[in-house]
Amino acid sequence: MKLAVVVPISPFESEEVVRKSIEHLKNLDYDGFDVKFVYVIDRSGDDDVRDKVANDCGVDVIIRNDRRGKRAGAINDAIEYLRSFNPDYVAIFDVDSRPERNFVVECVKALESCADCYIASSKRYIVNGVNLVSETVEAEYYLLNFLIARSAFKQFNGLIGVLRADFLANERLREDAVTEDADFATRMHAAGLKASLVKTTKLYEEAPMSWKELYDQRKRWYYGGLQLWRYRRRMRDAKFAVRVSWYLALTLTYVPVIFLPLLLLAPPLLVYHYRRLSKVRVVAGLMIHTLLLQLAAISALISYLRGEGVEWGKITRIEEGR
């Protein structure tokens, strides 16, 4: 069985972050699969040596001198590069992805037992809860994990997980989609396919560490969500539960302020979950977060109606050893 591991790298990521990503992903359990690692690097300038760093670490490298299609374009270029390898599965990760050692094996098992699943992935957890911003996102992720386990429309951010290679090769990612992951997930669910949430493994990643970075990230997500309305006719053929989940994701999430009263329940839940009284301070972060999301949603809507685009910004990384 052949498996390709694809990691797109933006111009903003450092050499050390790239090195740590390779070290971690190469040490996962691949259960005897024939594995090819492909890092797609969008160059940051003439002095960019990250391709050499990646080559020295023993992975294949695709160098892109433009940012055509951003992350979607990078993944599409990797799919084209992998034609001769012809993988059965493609695992997509971000540079900050730190899956547990059994992640790939468990995801492949899930796909092998689900003929109409196009992707398998797991719940997400934050590893860099070092300030109020990242601790707030860490708390948010526990809610998101709860919701994704119950939603018929499952969308794994970044398409991070293991996918059937033939679906990727046939469908490709839309390079004009701001959130290419949600776009691909919508098309797959509209075609009657499913996403498998694997409960026997976990995936860790980093959260933004400033309110500005978080705002920029979520504005882009909201903008991408508005683009998904172009699939409303296609979604008519999807199962009823999928349609309901999809419509709720594209409506209720744009008015997060209506959930502010629920934050009254947050203090006891935070103390119970973390077993630390000091975590009550995250309630303040959740209030700021909710208002920030509302502002990002409004700003994204205005930009969308004006026909303006949104920019991909840098995310500050914390040097951690996972």
- Over residues 272-299, the mean pLDDT reads 94
For 165-203, write each residue's pLDDT tens digit: 999 999 999 999 999 999 999 999 999 999 999 999 999
Q: Is 295 exposed, middle or buried (0-12, 13-18, 19+ CB in 10 A)?
A: middle
| Partners of residue 312 on adjacent β-strands | none
Percentages helix, strand, coil for the chain (3-state, rounded to 5) are 50, 15, 30
For 232-248, write each residue's pLDDT tens digit: 999 999 999 999 999 99
CA-CA distance, 24 to 44, in Å (whole number)?
23
Q: Residue length, the chain?
A: 322
Confidence (pLDDT) at 321: 39
Average pLDDT along the chain: 95
Confidence (pLDDT) at 84: 97
Backbone φ and ψ of 281, nearest 5°: -60, -20
For 102-118, write each residue's pLDDT tens digit: 999 999 999 999 999 99
For 38-61, write each residue's pLDDT tens digit: 999 999 988 999 999 999 999 999
CA-CA distance, 79 to 46, in Å (whole number)?
26
> Please, which pLDDT band fits residue 13 given cuts at 50, 70 and 90?
very high
| pLDDT at position 142 over 70 | yes
What is the pairing mode between strands 89-92 and 161-164? antiparallel
CA-CA distance, 166 to 268, in Å (whole number)?
47
Confidence (pLDDT) at 251: 97
Sequence-separated (6 or more) residues with CB below 8 Å from residue 228: 179, 182, 183, 186, 250
End-to-end Cα, the chain, rounded Å: 28
